[in-house]
Amino acid sequence: MIISTIDDLLTVAKGAEGLTFQEIDTTERLLSRKNKGGLGQVIEESLFGYEVNSSSEADFSELGVELKVTPVKINKSGSVSAKERLVLNIINYMEEVNFSFETSSFWKKNKQLLIMFYLWEAEKNRNDYTILKSVLLTYPEDDLEIIKNDWTVIVEKIKNGSAEDISEGDTMYLGACTKGANRNSLRAQPFSEVPAMQRAFSLKQSYMTTFVRQHLDEHRIVSFTNKHELRSKSLEEILIEKFSPYINLSLKEISQSIGYTITPTNKATVANMISTILGIRGTKLDDIEEFSKANIKFKTIRLEKNGIPREHMSFENVDFDRWVIDSFEESQFYNRFEQTKFLFVVFQFNETHSENPLRTPYFKKVLLWNMPESIIQTELKKMWLEGRKVLEEGVQLTPTKRGISNNLPKAKDNLVTHIRPKARNAEDKVALPDGQLITKQAYWLNKEYIAEIVNN
């Protein structure tokens, strides 16, 4: 079939739905060797019949459409997710700064994407993966406003001579992910002598997951903003504005003001408060479009009178097996902090706990935060390296009067993060790589670091 319109393109792509790569491949490319991008090449050559290229033009340049073949996975819960971020073109730091968004390399090549989703299955050979669905991605106008802003954030960092501090977490939907075999894949940047890690524009995994769910699951999500608002304000500014009327109010006062009944025992109280203030009452936070696409997770922070939280902030349990196998860039910690933005909902007490244990916290502010790349590469990595060494040498478990102590990195060992137990009780244990059992541990952000972020 001669492809002269986007409809033709979609017709051909949709004809492959339900087929495996093996069934499509006419070149025996898949049998030859395990070359990366091989699945995309099969589609280019055998389905569309054109030569593989790495031009800066879009694949179907006359139609302005770029072809992407990308995996989805089925979660334990049965829901579907993008298996990875969608990697677009490599950023040429020297050149991108000379462009506007409209003339940028990103926009030139990725204005419209023909996305072919296939199902990744751990136990299967990649030849046998099945094409699920093909969809033309054109960015909705609201998304495009956010993406423009993201592009600007990335380019501003290059202009400031700090391309080496770019992190995927800096932006909402359009990320700049590391690309290259290792940390030696460095590139020059125009306003600094420091070589920066090679990065590519990418659509975040969370953005792709939201997109996949809309098209494969018909999953419904709700937005709290719109393109008009987004033309003049960033997402963060909009959030701050929406929360500003409630500053210095208690949760009870806020609930009265927004007409929402709080049940003190309800764990989701603050989450409900957020969705109500955003004008989408009853929506789970994960179903808020902007939170879902940008992978924004909310955390409540309660500051003491002195501006420091009483407790450190916990995250998920540590996977000790991964810790000794993964590289830092593959690690649980790197991925959590590189890929997540946090919406901190900050309350503060006016009295100390000893003055009044039943004191009320007052709402202070919201802020969007992601861990800066400079911290990820220093303190976070330091903790990871130290913990890994302890695991490789064998964790020393020492019975004391207050339980069993260990020599994993402690709060005093690091300015930012540490390891501490989080379990049902001391008997709730997991196996370490060497077979010893340890009370389940989580990683935490130090409360002093939280204070620094919040009070910047």
State the residues that interact with DNA by CB under 7 A: 265-268, 270, 297, 299-300, 302, 311-317, 357, 400-406, 410-412, 418, 420-428, 439-440
Q: Are 78 and 217 in contact (CB under 8 A)?
A: no
To DNA, the closest distance from the beta carbon of 366 in angstroms equals 14
In terms of CB distance, is 259 or 357 closer to DNA? 357
In terms of CB distance, is 6 or 404 closer to DNA? 404
To DNA, the closest distance from the beta carbon of 211 in angstroms equals 23
Q: Are 196 and 91 in contact (CB under 8 A)?
A: no
CA dist., res. 308 & res. 447, Å (int): 6
To DNA, the closest distance from the beta carbon of 87 in angstroms equals 26
To DNA, the closest distance from the beta carbon of 399 in angstroms equals 8
In terms of CB distance, is 36 or 267 closer to DNA? 267
Instruction: Please report which helix (H) or strand (E) contains residue 246, including its range.
Output: none
To DNA, the closest distance from the beta carbon of 353 in angstroms equals 7
To DNA, the closest distance from the beta carbon of 128 in angstroms equals 30
To DNA, the closest distance from the beta carbon of 38 in angstroms equals 34
In terms of CB distance, is 42 or 450 closer to DNA? 450
In terms of CB distance, is 116 or 438 closer to DNA? 438
CA dist., res. 41 & res. 36, Å (int): 9
Q: Are 63 and 6 in contact (CB under 8 A)?
A: yes
User: What is the CA 375 to chain-centroid distance, rounded?
Assistant: 17
In terms of CB distance, is 198 or 446 closer to DNA? 446
- Best CA proximity match to 87, nearest among 102, 103, 66: 66
At residue 139, φ and ψ (nearest 5 deg) are -70, 130
- The residues, ordered by sequence, that sit 6+ positions from 448 with a Cβ below 8 Å of its Cβ are 308, 415
Strand-pair partners of 177: 200
CA dist., res. 395 & res. 436, Å (int): 8
To DNA, the closest distance from the beta carbon of 285 in angstroms equals 10
- The residues, ordered by sequence, that sit 6+ positions from 240 with a Cβ below 8 Å of its Cβ are 365, 366, 367
In terms of CB distance, is 56 or 266 closer to DNA? 266
Task: Dump the DSSP string for 351-406.
Answer: S-TTT-TT--EEEEEEEEE---HHHIIIIIHHHHHHHHHHHHH----EEETTEEE-
In terms of CB distance, is 219 or 299 closer to DNA? 299
Q: Are 221 and 210 in contact (CB under 8 A)?
A: yes
To DNA, the closest distance from the beta carbon of 451 in angstroms equals 12
CA dist., res. 28 & res. 358, Å (int): 71
The encoded tokens of residue 51 equal 């030569």
CA dihedral 223, 225, 230, 233 (to 10 degrees): -130
In terms of CB distance, is 78 or 103 closer to DNA? 78
